[in-house]
Structure 1
Amino acid sequence: MTRPGIDYEAVFQAVPGAMALLTTDLVYADANEAFLQMSGRTRDQVVGRYLFDVFPDNPTDPSATGMRNLQASLMRVAAAGERDAMALQRYDVEYPDRPGEWEKRYWSPVNAPVFGPDGQVALLLHRVEEVTELIRARGGRNGGDRARVLEAELYTRARELQEVNERLRRAHAREREVALTLQAAMLPVPRALGNHRAAVRYRPAVGALNVCGDWYDLAELPGDRIAVAVGDVVGHGLPAACVMGQLRSALSAAVRVADGPAAALEALGLYARDVDGAESTTAVQAVIDCHNHTLAYSSAGHPPPALLHADGTVEFLDRATDPPLDARPEDVPRPQAETAFAEGATLVLYTDGLVERRHEDIDTGLRRLADCLTRHGRADAETLADALLAELLPPGGNTDDTALVVIRL
């Protein structure tokens, strides 16, 4: 956020610590004066150039892996959107005016993501502390021998850290795959609901572990009625997938016997108290009466469903919103509201990944959703679902998973 009276470019340049900004393609976008002085490079030698073109690893020393380690760290930050503090690294830095001559340097780096308006990682902030003199000072009188010992220890620790990070990466990838498989097995298979067509979509988060907490559910009820719900469990990976499965099944059963969506969510809230990891789950339940052309709904802290009327107007169903599950100690009846619709209307339920972005008010995302529905409202359910995902999710994928249900009424 830009605030009047603060020159953030000047602040960046004045920071006493060495800092640089890189693109997700590892090209230097900017560097402050402290970074340029520490590295012995000019701005023209750094900005706009690829990481390894500016600071290649020493080709004559196989143990010089600092830049390769840095590359791996930056790529992890770009993929996961999470800060990464690296172990102490040895860098062999080539003298800019003496090609082929290298100086051993020791740096302590921290890398962090900088997010853009769409919630995606836009830049990588690379902060470095120079510790070369500290390493040399610890060598004392026998500086050469002790420095070599410290260097060997440093190299060993860096390799160990690399191996640990790689094992964690593989473990996370396996957990993500298992969680996605489990979730796919627990979500209902799309099918026709009487004379109505429903399209369902699930898109996992890209490059992160915060997947598998979202669900959807559809069911035919007696009296020419349709129950539809979406929900979002706080958490990620296998634990979230397991909680999601329990809550989805519980709500699907409750809505079949409860007197309306509010009563179904009340029953789900009581059940959630005995499920570890279910606290703060959000959900919305709607029951569509196809004969009377009415729609009853209740929300437990979830983004409002969107009802696209036959005349092209969009109504957000936000008149029956209550806190998420298990958010208050006492039992309080949940609100329920009802609205009418005409034949040809479309109901859209979704999880927050479709409309929420970091550093952006949710109303902005809701306006994007309404605009997209207005422009594509005449399309069939499947085409409309695809259009919503294509226009509302970031091109490279979202950092949160997304569930979506579209029903033509």
Structure 2
Amino acid sequence: MSEPAIDYEAVFQALPGSVLLLTPQFVIADANEALLRRAGRERREVIGRLLFDVFPDNPDDPAATGTRNLRASLERVVATGARDTMALQRYDVEMPGRPGEFEERYWSPVNAPVLDAEGRVRLIVHRVEEVTEVVRAETEGEGYRGRLGAELFARAQELQEVNEDLRASHAHERQVVLTLQEAMLPAPQTVGHHRAAVRYRPAVSALNVCGDWYDLAELSGDRMAVAVGDVVGHGLDAACVMGQLRSALSAATRVAAGPAQALDVLGVYARSVDGAESTTAVQAIIDWTTRTIAYSSAGHPPPALLHPDGAVQLLDQATDPPLGARPEHMARPEARVAFAEDAVLVLYTDGLIERRREDIDVGLGRLADALTRHRGADVEALADALLAELLPSGGATDDTALVVIRL
């Protein structure tokens, strides 16, 4: 028996709650009947117009904060791709047919993103429930809100102040962590006579930064070791763990027989570091004398080798679980691949390719396509092109490390 077709436009219009659909620029794309009725507006008055032009703050009320608070919430949704629930808001509405006259109104808003296949915000669902009558509760004379309403509004305002304090605290922590990471990660440099382009892009969220790292090292002969990794946690603790693991792998690389042995040593060390469990990492050792790349991965997305003819090869033949994931030690696998002059090797963390509700192969396909199209670019231009094309336009929800080396 086939399922009945659902008319989602009719469902949207029949919703008992007030709902607006907004573009990422906060232009009203649609409004349901409940919202139009409660706002006292005709459809032609709202569709295609900026939200804050249709519903401005009362210019005669210096304490009005509805527009500011709502804009901040919507900007967080666009930046993070996550739902944002607001505290109770006093957001007065201009009375229909009476320009400049505002009626005191109270709303409980929720803003939720509608994401596309690449995790970018395409629409925002702005749902509001009006609670004016509850807050007002005029039981003891004109202008008196009533004990219940006054307490409800006061608690909501306190909650909003707490949320603002938390956001300020998170922003401060973000800056501290980014400063620490900048000091720990190596700057762009020439390794031997080979130039590598490195990039780090923090997540837009204050709490989702600094689990990613990269490292480059010159080895004996015409060889270079390059690695990237991703600590599971975020924030200051993750930045400290990242620094420890990066330093440990850099030291191990200089005495190990190859990348698999270096990751073996790092895995043993990670067991003694709180927060290092399940870290992913991949290392490649490039040998220009033999024109080969030896590589090993601990649960990390595969490096991409761009051949001169534009073909892209994923280095996925030596993949093992993340650091500390096995209860007993086992030697890690190692693979080797040949490269031609003018090939390009790209190592990255998952923020570059992964999107919500999307198979990782789709992101890997985007990476391969971008590499092929930009194969003639120098390493700096190629690194910038990859970030510009592959990261979400509203900002990444996870941090991203990227290393590009022309071979």
Structure 1 partner of 2:42: 42
Three-state SS of the structure 1 residue aligned to 2:367 is: helix
Q: Tell me by how many angstroms 1:127 deviates.
A: 1.4
Amino acid aligned to 1:124? I
Q: Which runs of 5+ in 1 are unaligned?
A: none
Distance 1:274 1:35, change over 3 A: farther
Contact 1:20 1:30 in 2 (8 A): yes
- Gap change, CA 1:310 and 1:93, over 3 Å in 2: closer
Change (3 A) 1:60 1:199: closer
**Contact 1:119-1:398 at 8 Å conserved across structures:** no
1:242 Cα deviation from its structure 2 partner: 1.1
More off after superposition, 342-351 vs 126-135: 126-135
Distance 1:4 1:377, change over 3 A: farther
- Aligned partners of 1:354, 1:347: CA distance in 2, in Å? 15
Deviations 1:355-378 (A, max 9, x none): 223343322222222222223323
In structure 1, give the amino acid aligned to 2:266.
L
Contact 1:355 1:362 in 2 (8 A): yes
> Which residue identity does 2:369 align to in structure 1?
D
Is the 1:215–1:244 contact (alpha carbons within 8 Å) kept by the matching residues of 2?
yes
Provide, for residues 179-206 of structure 1, a one-character-per-residue CA deviation record: whole Å limited to 9, x for no partner: 1111111112333223322221222223
Structure 2 partner of 1:262: 260
Aligned length: 405
Matches within 5 A, 1:218-233: 218-233=216-231
**1:390 counterpart (388, 391, 401):** 388
For residues 217-271 of structure 1, the C-alpha deviation after alignment (integer angstroms, 9 at most, x for no partner) is 1112234332110011123222221111111111112222223212222222222
CA drift at 1:100: 4.4
How far the C-alpha of 1:157 sits from its partner, in A, is 4.2
Report the CA distance between 1:318 and its aligned residue. 0.7
Hey, what does 1:22 align to over in structure 2? 22
Instruction: Say which SS state the counterpart of residue 26 (structure 2) adopts.
Output: coil
Aligned ranges for residues 54-133 of structure 1 at < 5 Å? 54-133=54-133
Q: Which amino acid aligns with 1:308?
A: L
Alignment partner, residue 331 of structure 1? 329
SS class of match (1:303): coil
In the TM superposition, residue 210 of structure 1 has moved relative to its aligned partner by: 1.7
Residues in 2 aligned to 1:43 and 1:275: alpha-carbon distance in whole angstroms? 59
TM-score by length of 1: 0.89
Change (3 A) 1:225 1:65: closer
Q: What TM-score comes out, normalization by structure 2 length?
A: 0.89
Q: How many angstroms does 1:303 deviate by?
A: 1.1
Structure 2: how far apart are the matches of 1:29 and 1:216? 43
Secondary structure class of the residue paired with 1:147: coil
Does the Cα contact within 8 Å between 1:284 and 1:298 map onto a contact in 2? yes
Q: Distance in 2 between matches of 1:150 and 1:58?
A: 25
What SS does the corresponding residue of 1:126 show, helix, strand or coil?
Answer: strand
Structure 2 CA distance for partners of 1:381 and 1:56, relative to 1, 3 Å: closer
Equivalent in 168, 174, 177 of residue 175 of structure 2 = 177
> How big is the shift at 1:284?
0.6
Could you say if the C-alpha distance between residues 9 and 302 of structure 1 is closer, same or farther in structure 2, counting changes exceeding 3 Å?
Answer: farther
- Superposed displacement of residue 167, structure 1: 2.6
| Contact persistence 1:114–1:125 (CA under 8 A) | yes
What amino acid maps onto 1:226 in structure 2?
A: M
Unaligned regions of 5+ residues in structure 2, if any?
A: none
Q: RMSD of the alignment, in Å?
A: 2.7
Instruction: Identify the residue that residue 361 of structure 1 maps to in structure 2.
Output: 359
Q: 2:161 aligns with which of 163, 168, 184?
A: 163
Q: Do the aligned residues in 2 keep the contact of 1:114 with 1:121 (CA within 8 Å)?
A: yes
Q: Residues 120 and 399 of structure 1 are in contact (CA less than 8 Å); yes or no, is this contact kept in structure 2?
A: no
Per-residue CA deviation, residues 94-136 of structure 1 (Å, 9 max, x unaligned), is 3313444443332211222332333233332211122233335
CA separation of 1:227 and 1:131: change in aligned 2, threshold 3 A: same
- The alpha-carbon deviation at position 154 of structure 1 amounts to 5.3
Mark the CA change 1:67 to 1:235 in structure 2 (over 3 Å): closer, same or farther.
Answer: same
CA distance in 2, matches of 1:182, 1:4: 57
What SS is found at the alignment partner of 1:257?
Answer: coil
Kept in 2, the 8 Å contact 1:208–1:399? The answer is no
Task: Provide the residue aligned with 1:377 in structure 2.
Answer: 375
1:320 matched to which residue of 2?
318
